Amino acid sequence: MVVLVLVVLCSWLAPALASGGDDEKDYDSAFEYDYESLRIGGLVFAVLLFVMGIVLIVSRKCTCSKSDKLRSRGPDVESGVPRA
């Protein structure tokens, strides 16, 4: 959850940082929209989501292979010892 909040924050902050500064009085400003910072924010958002997805998959792989190893070792040990 924390990560999600971070992502949202980042995507809002990035355009703000990118376009800090110039505030000239313009009466058409209601009709102007800062597409440049929107673009940057959107892309940051996309990249972050993508990276999170990848991290998710990779972390799954790790935990999975570990537990697999543990599981497969069990029966091997058992059958390796000849009984009676």
Looking at residue 25, what DSSP letter applies? -
Placement of tokens 């999170």 in the chain: 52
CA 77 from chain center: how many Å? 40
- Binder of other proteins out of 21, 24, 25, 35 (CB under 8 A): 35
CB count in 10 Å sphere of residue 11 = 20
Q: How far is the CB of 55 from other proteins (least distance, A)?
A: 9
Residue placing its CB nearer to other proteins in the complex, 25 or 83: 83
Residues that bind other proteins (CB under 8 A): 33, 35, 38-43, 45-47, 49-50, 52-54, 56-57, 60, 79, 82-84
